[in-house]
Amino acid sequence: MTIKQIIILVLTLVFVLLDTHTSSSKGEEARIPYDSKLAPVSHRISNELSSSDATKKADYRINRFLEYWRIEGASVAIVKNEKLVFAKGYGYADVDKKEKVEPDHLFRIASVSKLITATAIMKLKEEGKLQLSDRVFGEDGILNSKNYLTIHDKRAKKITVENLLRHTSGFSSRYGDQMFMPLTIAKKMDVPTPVSAETIIEFALSKRLNFAPGSRGSYSNLGYVILGKIVEKASGKDYEAYVQEHILQPAGIFDMHIGRNLRIDKLPNEVNYYEQSNAILVSPFDGSGGKVNRSNGGNNIEELGGAGAWIASAAELMKFYVAIDGKDKQADILSKESIAYMTKPSPRGFSPIGWKGTLSNGTWWRTGTLAGTSALLKQNPDGTTWVIITNTSSWKGSKFPKDLNKLMRRVMRSVKKWPETDLFNYFEAQPNELAFDDITEFLERS
């Protein structure tokens, strides 16, 4: 065993001891110091660890599904009773290079990002830095800087943090989703491209709300972009930095990041994104001219921020889930009261906090769709939770997660007994340690 492997083994054993200690301290924040040499769970496992006779039927169903829908690559992770029992990649991360998907590959998770942002807001509430009833705009609002004080519809001054979390703010995409019309907004606001999230918020405030805040619901990406700005104002930190330092790293998650717009800027272990063969090319978000794929310059992923910009591996996304599931075997980063409030079933037409939907039987789900990716995370009443993420979009758009759900129901039925091994606690040194060093160096340079 090399010196480097010994160091990593010692650090990971320290991680286990810390995790065990915090698990026994209910209600306390799990404080795990960040060390870039402590390899993420996704870098400590491989496809081989989730390959067995028991899961051959599952592999067959997933591969057939990818072939049918012409999906280039996907990643699947399954948790049972808070143990990571399965984590495996399928297809290709890079088709041209024939690079196969492994558990350490990062994917855009689209609107699953909203669950991360909602968790950050609830954490700030627990830290006493904001209340869900706080007003967002106006002279006494959280976002009360000069650029946000030109408000056309005075009802906007009544928007609360909770309105944004539950999509009841009055903002809607009735005339187009503000986060995906950058050239139109640049022209209306008479500003150069690319437009910033701040400019998009100013544009929305210059228009009439579609309904009175709190009176009904309408899904809004803009609302969660605004929540990202609230995280920054309340914490005094950059949104990504706050989430990593106060949410992810304390949960033992070290390889989740805000994604980049262009393929040439992606992280070393991030997949390429693909669209259906007849996808329409669009004008680039930065106004540079020509036509591009939405997944590679058509959408401004970075400004989408808290609404849909995170990239993650399926395994670490499951690590995040077990930190907000309200169960006792793994330490949570939020109180049981906060988790219960987030997941309380909502009246028809309204949304729970962060989640796409929750049912009284314990079913929770969160979907995510962007050009080039689709994701679905789902907790089931039987004690299992899974996530599937693809690097290829479908012509069905935001409806595609329904097909992912059907696939995973068949996958779960096809396995009679899942392994007892908890891959969260698998610590054998892996060949991809060097790859993680490369990623750390890349981020430090950026």
pLDDT, tens digit, for every residue of 326-379? 999 999 999 999 999 999 998 887 999 999 999 999 999 999 999 999 999 999
Residue-level pLDDT at 430: 46
Token pair listed for 141? 């609002």
In a domain, 209, yes or no: no
Q: What is the pLDDT of residue 29?
A: 34
Domain that holds residue 363: 3-109+253-279+310-328+354-445
Choose the weakest-confidence range: 35-49, 215-229, 279-293.
Answer: 35-49
* pTM attached to this predicted model: 0.89
Contact, 41 vs 68, CB < 8 A?
Answer: no
- Are residues 405 and 386 in contact, defined by beta-carbon separation less than 8 angstroms? no
Closest CA to 105 of 266, 323, 262, 242: 266
Distances (CA, A) of 48 to 45, 52, 90, 100, 101: 8, 8, 12, 13, 12
For residue 23, tell me if it sits in a domain. yes
Look at residue 16 in the predicted model and tell me its pLDDT: 39
- At 10 the pLDDT is 42
Q: What is the dihedral of CA 266, 271, 277, 279, to 10 degrees?
A: -40
Contact (Cβ atoms closer than 8 angstroms) between residue 313 and residue 102 = no
Tokens of 22: 């915090």
Task: State the virtual CA torsion across 238, 243, 249, 254 in degrees, nearest 10.
Answer: -80
CATH number of the domain where residue 258 is located: 3.40.710
Residue 150 lies in a domain: no
Does the residue 41 lie in any domain? Answer: yes
Within 323-432, residue ranges assigned H as helices are 336-343, 400-414
Which of 367, 426, 420 is closest to 115 using CA atoms?
367
Residue type, 312: A
Tens digits of per-residue pLDDT, 81-112?
Answer: 999 999 999 999 999 999 999 999 999 999 99
pLDDT for res 427: 83
pLDDT in tens, 294-327: 999 999 999 999 999 999 999 999 999 999 999 9
Q: Is the pLDDT of residue 253 over 50?
A: yes
Residue 386 lies in a domain: yes
- Total domain count, the chain: 1
Q: Which amino acid would we find at residue 48?
A: E
Phi, psi for residue 34 in degrees, rounded to 5: -75, 135
Residue owning tokens 């329904």? 402
Residue 119 banded pLDDT, cuts 50, 70, 90: very high
Residue 333 lies in a domain: no
Domain-embedded: residue 322: yes
Mean per-residue pLDDT, 174-202: 95
- Confirm whether 157 is domain-assigned: no
Give, in degrees to the nearest 5, the angle at Cα 371 between 119 and 182: 80
CA proximity to 71, closest of 299, 389, 378: 389
